Amino acid sequence: MASTQTDTIDLSKFPVDRIRNFCIIAHIDHGKSTLADRLLEMTGAIVKTQKNKQVLDKLQVERERGITVKAQTASLIYSHQGQQYLLNLIDTPGHVDFSYEVSRSISACQGVLLIVDANQGIQAQTVANFYLAFEAQLAIIPVINKIDLKNADPERVASQIEKVFDIPCNECIRISAKLGTNVEAVLQAVVDRIPPPVASIDDPFKALVFDSNFDHYRGVVANIAVFGGRVRKGDRIVSAYLGKSYEVNELGILRPDEHPTQKLFAGQVGYMVTGMKDVKEAQIGDTLYLKEQPVETLPGFKPAKAMVFAGMFPTDQSDYPGLRSAIERLTLNDSSVTVQRDSSMALGAGWRLGFLGLLHMEVFNQRLEQEYNASVIVTAPTVPYKAVLSSPRLIKNRRGIQKNMVYIDDKRVMMKYLFPLNEIVVDFYDLLKSLSSGYASFDYENAGYQAADLIKMNILLNGQPVEELITIVHRGRAYSAGKAMCERLQDSIPRQMFEIAVQASIGSKVIARETIKAYRKNVLAKCYGGDITRKMKLLKKQAEGKKKMRLIGNVEVPKDAFINVLKRKDK
Ligand SMILES: Nc1nc2c(ncn2[C@@H]2O[C@H](COP(=O)(O)OP(=O)(O)OP(=O)(O)O)[C@@H](O)[C@H]2O)c(=O)[nH]1
């Protein structure tokens, strides 16, 4: 909700040299959100929070999974040596699937806090995020977090940082974000080591759209970084991308809740509502300027590249319009998802969606269910890519080719491999974590297409092909992949009143088979005699349970089965 205290903060009191725009980048779970909460508390933007409640993680799925999906912004006011500074903090997600959000956030900043866990040290996304910041020529402040842990070894981590990133050990700030230890030094370093934005109040107004959200009542809320001049409520602005003009209905800063103001000035970061009705109008990377003062556009972003594609279909075709509007709404808030209409004989009308990774896909699906109460069938994710990542073990099974190997210190090694993306996209990350007791980490980037000996494998239930489970497999692995999928389907599909044959086939040749034995489940068995209302209740409950099933031929398949069968269990 928007705050009512319009303009209680006089933003004109913050000339460009007293503004710092920065973000926090790190490997997943190294403590970005915890540090962000501490910074917010220390600068009075929020009152001290209950334990573990992370203010910048707003989405339900973020709180449930303990991960950041969508970057958030907060403006902090910090007093340092008798001066007040406006520090604009942009929180960023840590999981590899969301690195696109990191590069967006970086483009609105002049510096980053690079958090490294004092126990785990440098991990895959620490390296990937470092290079994003380094290539953008941002000031990088290394922060070693979790020094309170029993196994913390900040000195070893500082020397890793010096070795891998060439940043002297003594520049590392050692903190415990959880306990608040030495966090003040982080705020001081933001002021001392990060340069102010290069932006002049005397230039024409020019702003970069670096994120956008959709609000049911006000339309698009764009997050902007002002690179020049000033803008006020009522001004007419133009989107350079579309050439369309809009009136500024509302603007302000985020603390982290919206705090409306009358104006925004050069160097500041805030939000703007202009009556745009579609997030596609607020293109990430677009330049906004005043109608009468055209400017040269700012360099935009590379559009996010979808890596994983899957079909989404309503469980019940009568839910199609509802699901369409839910997908439209959700993609309004996540422009990295690509959507195309799709239809299939078995599943009816639906869509083909592109995601940044499997976690991204699962989060999207979870949000559809939680926020829009939608019931969806997701088909097998498909990919045509290769990836570069680190770690042995698993490698041979997944057709990996080693590219190089660098020792980070005497205990850690960073390895690069070339993989077919379909070998790693579903469960590789989980498996790598469990095989290495959580020590190994990985990151990947697209290495282009390459020819391979692949074939299409079908899965049949009582002779009926299951479209959702058509997979592309390597010829040499077809037999074992088909057998494993049949076994997992056998575990995932409950027994029904008739026998079910689960088969994998290539063309017309069946290569694997499992059987699910017949079984009769009579929900009324426990209702002896008369109570008809109780019987009705049970039948209703059973009918609701069935809604979560997908009927293939006459076989009922639980929705979860489609994703569960794809997760392999390598030994
Ligand atoms: N002991 C200790 N635990 C910490 C500290 N900072 C964070 N943690 C814990 O580490 C876990 C991860 O912290 P988060 O702040 O959620 O990590 P994150 O980097 O924001 O994670 P993503 O947003 O998913 O990338 C949580 O359980 C925190 O309570 C610290 O200084 N000391």
Is the pLDDT at 147 greater than 80, yes or no?
Answer: yes
The residue whose CA is least distant from atom 8 of ligand 1 is 31
What's the pLDDT score for residue 59?
A: 54
- For the chain, give me the number of helices (H) and strands (E)? 12, 30
Residue 94 annotated in ligand binding: yes
Ligand 1 centre from 363 Cα, in Å? 20
Q: What's this model's pTM, rounded to 2 decimal places?
A: 0.63
* Sequence-distant (≥ 6) Cβ neighbours of residue 528 within 8 angstroms: none
CA distances from 484 to 199, 396, 426, 458 (A): 59, 18, 15, 13
Integer-rounded Cα radius of gyration of the chain: 26
Is the pLDDT at 50 greater than 50, yes or no?
Answer: no
> Is the CB of 326 inside a 6 Å radius of any atom of ligand 1?
no
Ligand 1 centre from 30 Cα, in Å? 5
* Sequence-distant (≥ 6) Cβ neighbours of residue 292 within 8 angstroms: none
Asked if 192 and 157 touch (Cβ cutoff 8 Å), the reply is no
Pairwise pLDDT comparison (172 vs 55), residue with the higher score: 172
Ligand 1 centre from 22 Cα, in Å? 19
Tens-digit pLDDT profile for residues 416-466: 888 877 777 666 777 776 666 566 777 777 777 878 888 889 999 888 888
Pairwise pLDDT comparison (418 vs 336), residue with the higher score: 418
> Is the CB of 94 inside a 6 Å radius of any atom of ligand 1?
yes
Asked if 27 and 125 touch (Cβ cutoff 8 Å), the reply is yes
Query: Which H or E element spans position 241?
Result: none
Asked if 37 and 56 touch (Cβ cutoff 8 Å), the reply is yes
> Is the CB of 64 inside a 6 Å radius of any atom of ligand 1?
no
Residue 27 annotated in ligand binding: yes
Q: Report the pLDDT averaged over residues 167-185.
A: 95
Please provide the average confidence, as pLDDT, over all residues in the chain: 79
With cut-offs at 50, 70 and 90, classify the pLDDT of residue 288. very high
Any idea what DSSP says for residue 365?
A: H
Looking at the CA of residue 145, tell me the nearest atom of ligand 1: 31
Residue 95 annotated in ligand binding: yes
What's the pLDDT score for residue 494?
A: 83
> Is the CB of 34 inside a 6 Å radius of any atom of ligand 1?
yes
Residue 32 annotated in ligand binding: yes
Tokens of 130: 């470092």
CA dihedral 278, 280, 283, 287 (to 10 degrees): -60
Ligand 1 centre from 29 Cα, in Å? 5
Looking at the CA of residue 28, tell me the nearest atom of ligand 1: 25
> What is the Cα–Cα distance from 215 to 271, expressed in whole angstroms?
12
Residue 31 annotated in ligand binding: yes
Tokens of 136: 């953008």
Asked if 253 and 75 touch (Cβ cutoff 8 Å), the reply is yes
Lowest average pLDDT, out of 174-178, 279-283, 300-304, 481-485, goes to: 300-304
Q: Nearest 5°: phi and psi at 190?
A: -60, -45
Residue of 28, 32, 34 to mutate, ligand 1, most atoms within 8 A of C-beta:
34
Based on the number of CB atoms within 10 Å of its own CB, is 310 exposed (0-12), middle (13-18) or buried (19 or more)? Answer: buried
